[in-house]
Amino acid sequence: MEVIIQPTEEAAVKLTARIMADQLRARPDMVFGLATGATMEAVYAELARMCREEALDFSNAKSFNLDEYIGLPAEDKNSYRYYMDHHLFNNINIKKSNTHLPNGMTDDIPGEGPRYEAAIKAAGGIDLQLLGIGQDGHIGFNEPLSSLSSRTRDKSLTPVTYRQNSIYFNPPESMPRRAFTMGVGTILDAKRIVMLVTGKRKADIVAKAIEGPITSMISATAIQMHPHVVVILDEAAAANLKEQEYYRWTFANEPCWDRYR
C-alpha cells in the first residue's frame, strides 16, 4: 500500500483524476470500478474536463459501479445510475452500453449478484477500482461483519448508513433499507485500487483502515491485503496517521511518482 498526502482536497482530487486518466491513456479499453459520493463528484468533474479539453478518450472504456439501491428505478434522482449519468457518463464520450450498475429493479434479487459477477468476468475483470470510505469504514455497502471474501450480493444497510444517506431522500424515510453491493472479495480482485478520502471527519476511520488490524468490522481494512493500492488523502483526512513522515518521504522519493509531484 502507498499513502499519498496532498495539501488540499482539490489537490487530492486532481491527483486521483490524473492517475485514472493516465491509466486510460495507457490502456484505452480500461475497465474501471467506480464509486459514488460527494468527493467523487469532483473527480468526475475533473475527468469530464479532461475529456472536453484534453481529448481524454473513454470511447473504448467500460465501467462497473460498486453498488445500487434495491427498489429504485434508474430515473430516480437518488439512484446511483442517475448519479453516474449526471456526474460522469453524460459528460464524457463513453458508450452507455459499456457502463454497468446492479439492477435495482430486478425481479431476481438472489440472482443479481451472480449475474453482475459474470458480467465483470466477461469484461476481463476490473483494472482500476476507485474507492471512498464510509464513516464506519465500509467500502461499497459492505457493512460491518461483511466477509472479507464476499462477492456481489444484496445487503441490508446498517442504521448508521441509513441515517447518513436518508438526508438525500425526500422524504428521508423513502430511502431503501437494502442495496446491491460488490463484495469485499470482488473489490480485491481488481488489478489496482485507488482510494480517495478527504475531510477531518474521516481521519479516525482512515487511520484504522490503513494502520489498524484487518477486521471484518471495518471492511476497508481489507485493502491492506491488496498488492497494488494507492490511498490519496488531504491533510485533514491524514491527521491521525502515525506514519505520516514515512508516507511523505515515499511520495517525495519514489521514481514512479516523479510526474505527479
Beta carbons of 92 and 84 less than 8 angstroms apart: no
DSSP structural state of residue 215: B
Residue 106 is predicted with a pLDDT of 98
- CATH code, 82: 3.40.50.1360
User: What is the distance between the alpha carbons of residues 50 and 236, in angstroms, rounded to a whole number?
Assistant: 27
Whether 260 is in a domain gets the answer no
Q: Catalytic annotation on 10? A: no
Whether 134 is in a domain gets the answer yes
Residue 164 clears pLDDT 90, i.e. is over it: no
Average of per-residue pLDDT values in the chain: 97
Residue 205 is predicted with a pLDDT of 98
Whether 261 is in a domain gets the answer no
Whether 125 is in a domain gets the answer yes
Per DSSP bridges, beta strands 62-65 and 99-100 are parallel
pTM for the full model? 0.96
Q: Catalytic annotation on 143? A: yes
Whether 158 is in a domain gets the answer yes
The catalytic residue among 57, 136, 154, 204 is 136
Whether 16 is in a domain gets the answer yes
The catalytic residue among 127, 138, 189, 234 is 138
The catalytic residue among 46, 67, 68, 117 is 67
For 102-136, the pLDDT digits (tens) are: 999 999 999 999 999 999 999 999 999 999 999 89
Whether 102 is in a domain gets the answer yes
The catalytic residue among 68, 117, 143, 234 is 143
User: What is the distance between the alpha carbons of residues 216 and 113, in angstroms, rounded to a whole number?
Assistant: 20
Determine the structural domain holding residue 12 and report its residue range: 2-253
User: What is the distance between the alpha carbons of residues 218 and 142, in angstroms, rounded to a whole number?
Assistant: 9
For 184-230, the pLDDT digits (tens) are: 999 999 999 999 999 999 999 999 999 999 999 999 999 999 999 99
User: Based on the structure, what is the number of domains in the chain?
Assistant: 1
User: What is the distance between the alpha carbons of residues 258 and 135, in angstroms, rounded to a whole number?
Assistant: 32
